[in-house]
């Protein structure tokens, strides 16, 4: 069944001039069928480069929206309609407009985990891979900075840059679910392991890290490190790619495992359906796109 599904996906992908982009967190079988696996920024850059006419995005909605904003002329499909990000949903454009009104002098830095409408209200976008760089290189003249929506990424970035932010009380429920005890227990069982933590984790967990990095940063670190064992504090989907790229290294699991249900919604059947039926098409209103593209393009130019 899986083999037939894969064959059908390959046939449809060719016939429809489509590419499949998968986030580091989606299930292994989806990563395996994808043309590219990466973080939201890397995938959007791939989307911009591709000659393909259709992009099947396997991840969550804000990522597919970002791809659509960058390539408005392509058809962007989100393989699973209901795959969203609870953190992105914690702030709306309306809420951000109100915050901006309370702080009229402040520039707005938005995490990529936001809706197109929130990006449209922002001056600059960032990912977990480049938040520190964005603040250090593009916001030195800003007296006040609003950072939305992740209070934990904001707190990590504040520590790294020495800046203070007006923060939103958003957070990722999945990364916030990782408790210091979980990391300490893994370290007790694997004392030699390097602890690598995502900046969406709480400051108490970040405190325990040997390294703090985004998913792409983590992959690079694991590849280049001389260490043989790693405790990876982020969504477990990334472990598939890490094990594949580093078959000689060991990855010590956290207990309980770190699973984002939204990232697990996409499976081979969703990818097949997306290609066959042309669903679920992502649209971004022209007025919103024209505003949102500025914050994204500024980030892409700066991160080169």
Contact positions vs ligand SF4 (CB under 6 A): 60, 85-87, 113, 172, 174-175, 200, 235, 260, 262-263
- What span, in angstroms and rounded, lies between the C-alpha atoms of 221 and 238? 13
| Minimum separation from the CB atom of position 221 to ligand CIZ (A) | 12
CA distances from 282 to 61, 63, 173, 226 (A): 8, 10, 25, 42
114 lines the binding site for ligand CIZ (CB under 6 A)? no
Question: Residue 87 binds which one of ligand SF4, ligand CIZ, none, with CB within 5 to 8 A depending on kind?
Answer: ligand SF4
CA distances from 236 to 23, 130, 240, 250 (A): 12, 22, 8, 14
| 3-class SS letters over 224-272 | HCCCCEEEEECCCCHHHHHHHHCCCCEEECCCCCCCCCCCCCCCHHHHH
Q: Which of 108, 112, 118, 195 binds ligand CIZ (CB under 6 A)?
A: 112
Residue with smaller CB distance to ligand SF4, 172 or 218: 172
Question: Residue 214 binds which one of ligand CIZ, ligand SF4, none, with CB within 5 to 8 A depending on kind?
Answer: ligand CIZ
DSSP state of 33: H
Residue with smaller CB distance to ligand CIZ, 61 or 198: 198
| Minimum separation from the CB atom of position 170 to ligand SF4 (A) | 10
Q: Contact region for ligand CIZ (CB under 6 A) — 142-150, 177-185, 212-220, 221-229?
A: 212-220
Question: Residue 39 binds which one of ligand CIZ, ligand SF4, none, with CB within 5 to 8 A depending on kind?
Answer: ligand CIZ
| Minimum separation from the CB atom of position 85 to ligand CIZ (A) | 8
Half-sphere exposure of 13 (CA within 13 A, CB side): 19
Handedness of CA 175, 84, 113, 193 (dihedral sign): positive
Q: Which of 39, 46, 150, 262 binds ligand CIZ (CB under 6 A)?
A: 39
Residue with smaller CB distance to ligand SF4, 86 or 278: 86
| Minimum separation from the CB atom of position 278 to ligand CIZ (A) | 25
Pairing type for strands 75-78 and 54-58 reads parallel
Q: Taking every pair of C-alpha atoms in the chain, what is the biggest distance, in angstroms?
A: 58
Q: Which of 161, 215, 270, 291 binds ligand CIZ (CB under 6 A)?
A: 215
Q: Are 63 and 46 in contact (CB under 8 A)?
A: no
202 lines the binding site for ligand CIZ (CB under 6 A)? no
128 lines the binding site for ligand CIZ (CB under 6 A)? yes
Task: Break the chain down into helix, strand, coil percent, rounded to 5.
Answer: 45, 15, 40
CA 163 to chain centre: 23
The contact set with ligand CIZ (CB under 6 A) reads: 23, 39-41, 112-113, 127-128, 198, 214-216
């Amino acid at each position: 069944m899986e083999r037939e599904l894969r064959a059908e996906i390959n046939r449809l992908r060719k016939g429809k001039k489509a590419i499949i982009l998968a986030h580091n967190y989606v299930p292994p079988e989806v990563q395996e069928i994808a043309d590219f696996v990466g973080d939201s920024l890397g995938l959007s850059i791939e989307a911009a480069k591709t000659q393909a006419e259709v992009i099947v995005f396997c991840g969550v909605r804000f990522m597919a929206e970002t791809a659509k904003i960058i390539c408005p002329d392509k058809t962007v499909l989100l393989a699973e309609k209901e795959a969203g990000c609870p953190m992105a949903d914690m702030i709306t454009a309306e809420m951000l407009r109100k915050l901006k009104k309370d702080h009229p002098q402040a520039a707005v830095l938005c995490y990529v985990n936001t809706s197109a409408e929130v990006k449209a209200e922002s001056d600059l976008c960032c990912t977990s891979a480049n938040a520190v760089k964005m603040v250090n290189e593009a916001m030195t003249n800003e007296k006040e900075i609003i950072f939305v929506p992740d209070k934990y990424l904001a707190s990590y970035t504040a520590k790294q840059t020495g800046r203070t932010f007006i923060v939103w009380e958003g957070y990722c429920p999945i990364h916030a679910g990782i408790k210091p005890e979980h990391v300490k227990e893994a370290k007790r069982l694997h004392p030699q392991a390097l602890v690598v933590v995502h900046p969406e984790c709480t400051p108490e967990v970040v405190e325990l890290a040997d390294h703090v990095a985004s998913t792409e940063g983590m992959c690079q670190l694991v590849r280049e490190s001389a260490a043989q064992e790693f405790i990876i504090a982020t969504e477990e989907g990334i472990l598939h790619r890490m094990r594949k790229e580093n078959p000689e290294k060991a990855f010590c699991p956290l207990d309980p495992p770190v699973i984002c249900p939204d990232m697990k919604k996409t499976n081979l059947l969703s990818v097949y359906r997306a290609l066959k039926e042309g669903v679920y098409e992502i649209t971004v209103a022209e007025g919103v796109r024209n505003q949102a593209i500025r914050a994204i393009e500024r980030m892409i130019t700066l991160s080169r």
